[in-house]
Amino acid sequence: MLPDNRSEATPYDDILPRVTRPARYLGGEWNAVRKDHRSVEVLFALAFPEIYEVGMSHLGSMILYHELNLRPDVACERVFCPWIDMEEEMRRRGLGLHALESGRPVAEFDIVGISLQYEMNYSNVLNLLDLAGLPLRADRRDAGHPLVLAGGPCAFNPEPLADYLDAVVLGEGEEVVHEVVDAFRRWKRAGKGRDALLRSLAEIPGVYVPSLYQVDYHPDGTVAEVSPKIAGVPPRVVRRALPRLDDRDYPTRPIVPYLETVHDRAMVEIFRGCTRGCRFCQAGIIYRPVRERPADRVQELARELVGATGHQEVSLASLSASDYSAIEEVARRLVDEGVGLGVGISLPSLRSDAFSVELAHQVQRVRKTGLTFAPEAGTQRLRDVINKQITSDDLRAAVESAFRNGWRTLKLYFMIGLPTEDYPDLDGIAELVREVEAAYRTVKRGGGPPLKLSVSVAPFVPKPHTPFQWEPQLLLEELRKRQEYLRRRIPRRVRLSWHDPELSFVEAVFARGDRRLARALEIAWEGGAKFDSWSEHFSYRRWMDAFAAAGHDPRWYANRERPREEVFPWDHLETGVSKDYLWQERRRAWKGELTADCRFAACPGCGVCDRLGLSPVTGHAAAGEGS
Amino acid sequence: MAKKGLARWISHLDLVRALERALRRARIPVALSRGHNPLPRVSFASALGLGATSEAEYFDVELSRRMPVSAFTVALASQLPEGLELLEAREVPATSPSLGARVNLAAYRVTLALSDSGAREAFRAAWTRARTAEGLVIPRHREGRVRFLDARPLVHSLAIAESPDGLELRLDLVLDPRGTVRPEEFVAFLAQEAGIDLPPDAIRVHRTGLFRQEGERRRLPWELY
Ligand code: SF4
């Protein structure tokens, strides 16, 4: 039932005067969908294990919210983690987690769908289930509890969460979420037990039910085999992906938050997937192949979005905006249309080359925010190892073009601890920083306002389903040593920011973790772990204690080089890219051999097109050849 | 514009942004500021504190093209999110001074949940003391330092009445460009002086009007031409 007084009160009315940013907990924003619960059959809570401002910036969640609410038989509502102060007040009063739209307790929903974007949100996943009043472990939940689903990039190795999740969706959710809801409805009508539901879900392509798989280990602790416990459950689960983006409706009426969110703008997804082939990058594997949205559609959607949201900025979202085949034309058309309305265009994720800078210059006619480049590594040798196809010349041209076009705020992203990295590669980062500074002096002839250069460095974290999934992460002591080495070589006038190596270490443990880590996760959560992606809330000590208490050696997970033939805990979960291809890529990495992008050259045979029955959809000449 | 219900938890900055977005959705031709970062020319008379409701949120919108007031009202009203309600719009000359400069008085209705009659008496007594001999010096803590604000010239009038579950105050506060006192701040100060414990959720602030007071004469912001 829908409380009639929803617009006047929330379940948290007494608390709101006591917490920071109460607008996080209100709901009722423009375009939020509120349905009468008496008229629907399935209540779906879309849960994002982060705070509101982070979760509301996530395009994928908005897409699913739209997909689900299009159905007359479903009410889909949002759930986020309350911030620390709010949680304290809620727990003090014994108040559980409620969905934003109706204010109804999450525990009364039929399905709770959790978005897994980042390993360091896992403690928040447990906290969210607990705040909702649900038993953490899937085997303690029964037909009276919501079905707990998960999806998102971390779904490709959900093993550390296997004990807590009922089912996991691999890949793009637009279609499969409907199949899950349909199966749920049939089950609900049939009135059978929880087991029947899980079995029927396991039959849906792309749905993984962890409890229906048995994991056997070798005496050395590595996985021997992951196999279905019962007949009818597929031994391998293959990811779902849309053949074409325009096969599905786009959320042109997304919710407009009151609060300033991380990405406070309208978003048009211009393409999905990226085949540049950076060897450390998981996104470059799990969203293949590239599927572009036609240019005319992009323009139409941008127009509709501005009309329905009133946002003053439209962002063209993708993994690498400069790679969209019609990017110049689309950007120009949108900029022309937006001028006069005060609507600007933003292009996140640009390549580090002069072409991209010119493009950014075109779109930032009015506002000139900073530019960001991600060379990732300091030397050509190492950039070849990771297949980051950016040369020093590209970078120099990009930087010079930026300075000539009036930019003076620049951010550079690097990783340390990449496979084969050695101290000369760190010198290379320092050298590159000096070159950027010199280029600024040359362009400005020594005059002009000072350059604002910031450099951000993150330790490399090997991720599953990438060519570097066999690689060890550098030992923490060595990471710290390299960090210090680099720190001493970067001039003080440059703003240097570091991603916590301790945090990256724990991230590396869970990224390639197995089911046995569930215990450590639970112990850490019991010890107060939450918001671990916020370095001020992350406690290295707490995690180490938890690993010790659970009897795990975290270094075994993070710092061990895995042999070619090792069975990984995620091998039965397929992105469509073959393990052989990944191994071949790893070998090419060690030889410094580049692998071309299938959009611009022949298909190097990653296998995804065959496996998923798809082909790249782009306007580029070489595309569409398939594998 | 009225701010009701849950919208009272929308901060002033967020409210301004929400209004700008509503204006854009309504396709109202709002004039943009010049410069590198053109912003819509929208300005509010006075920021309302977080948690307060209001039936008197006045704002100026400068248009790049003249449009009938009725068309403006219809277009904007349908685009305002829940809890924000456009009550009335009037045309004022584009040359008029800013709203902030035109108004100098804000009227509030503040309800206090005070079930204990002793506490109610203590609150009244605190006000009687404050308005007379002892003055009304409110300490303000910021960045570890304390400053003192003499609020007496800023409190235009206060009438205290009994209500079913506490007190109802009619509080008129002076809006002075050099400084103002916030209603919840003033009430919390009196409560402290009275020695009563008033948790944040026991105070409800509602703004009833914004005026220009000159002598005995009180005019609405748009009656000033
Ligand atoms: S199979 Fe070939 S064409 Fe398809 S995504 Fe992989 S590399 Fe590109």
pLDDT mean by block of 10 residues, chain A; 627 residues: 52 88 94 96 98 96 98 98 96 95 96 98 98 97 95 98 98 97 96 94 98 98 97 96 94 94 91 96 96 95 94 92 91 84 82 85 72 93 95 90 90 96 97 94 87 96 98 97 96 94 98 98 98 95 98 97 97 98 98 94 95 92 50
Q: For ligand 1, atom 8, which residue shows the shortest CA distance?
A: A598
Nearest-CB residue to A366 (from B37, B81, B82): B37
DSSP 3-state of A4 = coil
Q: Torsion-angle region of residue A292: left (phi > 0), alpha (psi -120 to 50) or beta?
A: beta
- pLDDT computed for residue A484 by the predictor: 96
- pLDDT computed for residue A3 by the predictor: 41
Task: Give the span between the Cα atoms of A66 and A78, in whole angstroms.
Answer: 12
What rounded mean pLDDT belongs to chain A?
A: 93
Angle at B173 between CA B167 and CA B175, to 5 degrees: 155
Nearest-CB residue to A7 (from B27, B37, B83): B83
Do the bridges between strand B42-44 and strand A573-574 make them parallel or antiparallel, or are there none, so unpaired?
A: unpaired
- pLDDT computed for residue B9 by the predictor: 95
A570 DSSP assignment:
T
Query: Residue A402 — φ and ψ, nearest 5°?
Result: -60, -45
- Work out the number of other CB atoms within 10 angstroms of the CB of residue B223: 11
Nearest-Cα residue of chain A relative to residue B80 = A30
Which has the closest alpha carbon to A358: A406, A315, A312, A390? A406
- pLDDT computed for residue A367 by the predictor: 52
Fold of B104-219: Alpha-Beta Plaits (3.30.70)
Domain edges within chain B = 2-101, 104-219
What is the DSSP track for A244-301?
A: -GGGS---SS--B-SS--TT-SEEEE-EE---S--TT-SHHHHT-S-EEPPHHHHHHH
- pLDDT computed for residue A621 by the predictor: 66
User: From the CA of A604, how far away is ligand 1's center (Å)?
Assistant: 7
Give how far A149 is from chain B: nearest CA, Å. Answer: 31
Domains B2-101 and B104-219 share a fold: yes
Q: Which two tokens stand for residue A459?
A: 């330790």
Task: Give the span between the Cα atoms of A562 and A440, in whole angstroms.
Answer: 44
Q: For ligand 1, atom 6, which residue shows the shortest CA distance?
A: A606
User: From the CA of A605, how far away is ligand 1's center (Å)?
Assistant: 6
Residue type at position A34:
R
| Count of positions (residues) in chain B | 225
Residues of A with CB under 8 A from a CB of B: 7-10, 13-14, 16-18, 22-23, 26-30, 256, 258-260, 306-312, 341-343, 366-368
B6/A9 Cβ within 8 A: yes
Residue type at position B198:
L
- pLDDT computed for residue B85 by the predictor: 96
Question: Residue A207: in which H helix or E strand, if any?
Answer: strand A207-208
Nearest-CB residue to B201 (from A14, A310, A312): A14
Q: Are A526 and A543 in contact (CB under 8 A)?
A: no
- Residues of chain B short of pLDDT 50, as ranges, are none
Q: Are A90 and A12 in contact (CB under 8 A)?
A: yes
Q: What pLDDT digit, counting tens, does each position of B144-169 carry?
A: 888 888 888 889 999 999 998 899 99
Match 């036609």 to its residue by tokens.
A294
B5/A8 Cβ within 8 A: yes
- pLDDT computed for residue A613 by the predictor: 95
Q: Kindly provide the ipTM of the predicted complex, given to two decimals.
A: 0.90
Q: Are A166 and A208 in contact (CB under 8 A)?
A: no
Peptide bond into A289 cis (omega under 30): yes
Fold of B2-101: Alpha-Beta Plaits (3.30.70)
Angle at A544 between CA A540 and CA A550, to 5 degrees: 145
B37/A367 Cβ within 8 A: yes
Give how far A16 is from chain B: nearest CA, Å. Answer: 8
Task: Provide, as residue numbers in chain A, all residues whose Cβ is less than 8 Å from the Cβ of B22.
Answer: 30, 310
